[in-house]
Amino acid sequence: MEDLKLYKPDGTLGLEFQSDGPQARPVVILLRLINDALDSTATDIHIEPEGRKSVVRYRVDGFLRPAAAYEHDLGRQLLQCVKVLCDLDITNKNRFQDGSFRGIRANHEIDFRVSVMQEVGGDKMVIRILDRTVGTNLIERLGMHQDLVDTLRAFARRTQGTLIVAGPTGAGKTTTLYGILNEIDRARRNAISIEDPVEYHLPLMTQIHVDPKLKMTFAASLRSALRQDPNVLMIGEIRDAETADIALQSALTGHLVLTTTHAKDAIGAIFRLVDLKIPPYQLVSSVDLILAQRLARKLCVQCKQPMSVTPRYFELLGFPVPQTDTVYRARGCAACGDTGYSGRTGISELLQMNDALREAILRKAPETELQAMVNSGPYARMIHDAMRKVEAGIMSMEEVSRVLG
């Protein structure tokens, strides 16, 4: 525990480890919780009031799991420790507060983003854990098909065009963009990102945090970024028509654009842009690739259990029949916390703009026709990628149904 050091936003040491004294107890607990969360590969720490207790839960592999419970007064002191770390107002009880702090463990840097809100029982706090090395070799770590990896890397070497990553909240869209940014030679190319908020800090990268209160919206920040002679633009999310229009115009004028949107699949991203009043001719001339993705839990390799199935089993679920008679299901053991799962992998589909698809979009073809064109493409749909992982014993059918069902 002495190995973990926590620092305030200004870089000064925030909390030092102490082994005795009544005031040291919440500090010791906070250090222990953070260490435990890091060892558990948690992405978030939730501290919330529950009756006369303060309950701590970790989000691991997308699910919350209980971690600890403390008397309410001790929980309140624990929250105050975090607020002090973030230089937040510990007396303010009437509004939302956001802050951040930084940690170093074994020469490894971690960023922590904090959100505090008042609820009926008291303050609720969520601490987001952001590993600064998460983008390293990310494309391989997402479990993408090698042809898909090669296509994304080829796109990163281009001088202009647009890549859109689609999916719901928690699908890892922004993380994927960071992985692609790591494939770009930022020493020779001026790369600018516009994010809400900036999640990971990359070297040789200009990163802008949008703040609507200061009139720094995505659209306004993008217009300013275009005056900075950029080669590459990463736009955290297309939320409105103005941002969409500027982003796609930028691709047409010689910029490489990476962005995300909320859509259920690759075709859904096209209709999302249409809903934002992007003319079909502008869409087909500026968008090159649409990558749709989800994050799904991987089976624990130590306890996954084989099960024999028939084609009828998959037909009832509405999924393609795999090329195997045996699949695996979750069981649960000490190694995976009795969940049956350990770690996550990506499920993805890639839509490449081609002449046939452009023609269909220009004549406003229905969604069913466009979906059929995806089914016949080289990367198929997410369900086919998921079934490949089921055949390989990486995922369970229950997880596929949960994520894509």
Tell me if 180 sits within 8 A of 163, measured CB to CB.
yes
Average pLDDT of the residues in 266-295: 95
- Arithmetic mean of pLDDT, 13-32: 72
> Angle between the 382-391 and 397-404 helix axes, to the nearest 10 degrees?
170
Architecture of domain 5-131: 2-Layer Sandwich (3.30)
Banded model confidence at residue 136, pLDDT cuts 50, 70, 90? low
Residue 115 has what pLDDT? 94
Domains 5-131 and 138-404 alike in fold: no
- The predicted-structure confidence for 330-370, as pLDDT tens digits, reads as follows 999 999 989 999 999 999 999 999 999 999 999 999 988 88
Dihedral sign, Cα of residue 138, residue 141, residue 145, residue 146:
positive
Q: Which of 131, 101, 110, 103 is nearest to 10 (CA)?
A: 101
**What pLDDT is recorded for position 146?**
85
- pTM comes to 0.88
3-class SS of residue 239: coil
Please report, rounded to a whole number, the percentage of residues in the chain having pLDDT higher than 70: 93
Provide the 3-class DSSP secondary structure of residue 217.
coil
Mean pLDDT of 259-266: 94
**Class of residue 171 by CB neighbours under 10 A (exposed 0-12, middle 13-18, buried 19+):** buried
Topology of domain 138-404, CATH: Rossmann fold (3.40.50)
Q: What is the pLDDT of residue 102?
A: 92
Q: What is the pLDDT of residue 323?
A: 80
Q: What angle do CA 339, 341, 347 make, to 5 degrees?
A: 140
Ranges of each domain in the chain: 5-131, 138-404
pLDDT at residue 134, as a whole number: 55
Is residue 20 scored above 70 in pLDDT?
no
pLDDT at 90 over 90: no
Q: Based on the number of CB atoms within 10 Å of its own CB, is 146 exposed (0-12), middle (13-18) or buried (19 or more)?
A: exposed
Question: In the beta sheet, which residues pair with residue 80?
Answer: none
Q: What is the pLDDT of residue 23?
A: 61
Tokens 């928690």: give the residue.
170
Q: How far apart are CA 28 and CA 6, in angstroms?
A: 12
